[in-house]
C-alpha cells in the first residue's frame, strides 16, 4: 500500500507557482521522498527526490519538513505542459538500492491559462 | 535523464494469442527492471520486478505463467502476455533502475487491446 497522502486534484494559473503537498507521516529514517509525474497516456517522468534536505533542480524544488512527515513539491512557474498527475512516493533510497516504487493515487494538477 | 524505450507502443490482438512487449534501456545498463500495468483512470500497479539473469519476482495476485518476464541482458527485458483475453487490455509500462539504483526511469508505455 502507498505510504503517502495527496489531495486528489489542484488547479494553478499559468505562470504561478504550483505547490503540491504530500503527507508521509510513517516515513522511516532510511526512506527517501520521490516525485514523479505522468502526463496523459505517457510513462511517468522522474522529477526530484530527497531525504531530509531541501532539493532543487531544473524542474522543481522539494521542501521536506524538519520532522520529515510531509513535503511540498514546488513548480516555480507552472505552464500548460505541467498539467499531469503528480505522484509522491516514499521508498528506501540511496545508491545500490533498487527497491520498488509503489504508486498511490496522486494529485491531478490542472494548469489553466 | 536516462532513456527507456518500449516496443511496440500499441498493439491490438485477438483473444487467445500471445503478445510480447520489449523494454530497453538505451543509454545505461539496468540491473533491475520493473513492469507495471495501468487501467483507465487508475494508478500504476506493479506487476513484477526482474533482475538480469534471474527469475522475476511477481507481486501478489499476478500470474507468473500468464505474464512471462525475461531479463536476458542489462539493457533488455521482455513481458509476454500469454493467451491474452479482453480483461488483459491495459497500458503496460516498464521502468529501469540505473546500476546505482537511486532513480527509476520509465518507458513511454505500451497500450494493449485484446479483442
Q: What local confidence, expressed as pLDDT, does residue A91 receive?
A: 85
Mean per-residue pLDDT of chain A: 91
Res B52: pLDDT: 83
pLDDT confidence of residue B47: 95
Say yes or no to pLDDT of A79 above 70. Answer: yes
Distance, in Å, from the CA atom of B9 to the CA atom of A113, rounded to the nearest integer, reads: 31
Q: What is the pLDDT of residue A96?
A: 57
Cβ–Cβ contact B93 with A under 8 A: yes
| Residue A29 or B92, more confident | B92
Give the residue-averaged pLDDT of A85-111.
Answer: 84
pLDDT at B46: 94
Asked whether residue A95 carries a pLDDT value surpassing 60, the answer given is no
The predicted model gives A34-63 an average pLDDT of 94
Quickly state the pLDDT bin for A29 (edges 50, 70, 90).
Answer: confident
B107 touches chain A (CB under 8 A): yes
Q: Residue A2 CB: number of other CB atoms within 10 A? A: 17
Q: According to the model, what pLDDT value does residue B31 have?
A: 83
Instruction: Kindly state whether B1 is in contact with chain A, defined as any CB-CB distance less than 8 angstroms.
Output: yes
* pLDDT for res B97: 85
Counting beta carbons within 10 angstroms of the beta carbon of residue A77, is it exposed (0 to 12), middle (13 to 18) or buried (19 or more)? exposed
Joined together, the cell numbers standing for residue A31 give 526512506
C-alpha grid cell for residue B43?
494508478
Q: How far is B19 from chain A (nearest CA, A)?
A: 20
Q: What is the pLDDT of residue B17?
A: 96
Task: With beta carbons under 8 A apart, name residues in chain B contacting A102.
Answer: 46
How does pLDDT run across B5-49, given as a tens digit for each residue?
999 999 999 999 999 999 999 988 888 899 999 999 899 999 999
Lowest mean pLDDT among A14-28, A85-99, B95-109: A85-99
pLDDT for residue A102: 86
Nearest to A82 by CA among A25, A38, A29: A38
The better pLDDT of the pair B84, A92 is held by B84
- Give the pLDDT confidence of B43-93 residue by residue, as tens digits: 999 999 998 888 899 999 999 999 999 988 889 999 999 999 999 999 999
Joined together, the cell numbers standing for residue B80 give: 509476454
CB within 8 Å: A43 and B95: yes
Determine whether the interchain pair A98/B1 forms a contact, defined as Cβ–Cβ distance below 8 Å: no
Q: Is the pLDDT of residue B102 over 80?
A: no
**Closest residue, chain A, to B4 (C-alpha):** A43
B37 inside 8 A of chain A by CB: no
pLDDT at A67: 95
Residue B31 sits at the chain A interface (C-beta within 8 Å): yes
Q: Do B47 and B66 meet the contact criterion of CB atoms below 8 Å apart?
A: no
Amino acid at each position: 500500500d502507498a505510504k503517502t497522502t495527496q489531495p486528489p486534484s489542484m488547479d494553478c494559473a499559468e505562470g504561478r507557482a504550483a505547490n503540491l503537498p504530500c503527507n508521509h507521516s510513517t516515513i522511516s529514517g532510511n526512506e527517501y521522498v520521490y516525485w514523479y509525474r505522468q502526463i496523459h497516456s505517457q510513462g511517468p517522468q522522474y522529477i526530484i527526490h530527497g531525504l531530509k534536505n531541501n532539493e532543487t533542480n531544473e524542474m522543481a524544488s522539494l521542501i521536506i519538513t524538519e520532522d520529515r512527515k510531509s513535503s511540498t513539491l514546488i513548480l516555480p512557474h507552472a505552464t500548460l505542459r505541467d498539467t499531469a498527475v503528480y505522484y509522491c512516493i516514499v521508498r528506501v533510497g540511496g545508491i545500490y538500492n533498487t527497491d520498488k516504487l509503489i504508486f498511490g493515487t496522486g494529485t491531478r494538477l490542472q494548469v489553466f491559462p | 535523464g536516462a532513456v527507456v524505450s518500449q516496443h511496440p507502443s500499441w498493439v491490438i490482438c485477438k483473444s487467445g494469442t500471445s503478445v510480447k512487449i520489449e523494454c530497453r534501456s538505451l543509454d545505461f545498463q539496468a540491473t533491475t527492471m520493473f513492469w507495471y500495468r495501468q487501467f483507465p483512470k487508475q494508478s500504476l500497479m506493479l506487476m513484477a520486478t526482474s533482475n538480469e539473469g534471474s527469475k522475476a519476482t511477481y507481486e501478489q495476485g499476478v500470474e507468473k505463467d500468464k505474464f512471462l518476464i525475461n531479463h536476458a541482458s542489462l539493457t533488455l527485458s521482455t513481458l509476454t502476455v500469454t493467451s491474452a483475453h479482453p480483461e488483459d487490455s491495459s497500458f503496460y509500462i516498464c521502468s529501469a533502475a540505473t546500476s546505482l539504483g537511486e532513480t527509476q526511469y520509465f518507458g513511454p508505455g505500451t497500450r494493449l487491446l485484446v479483442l
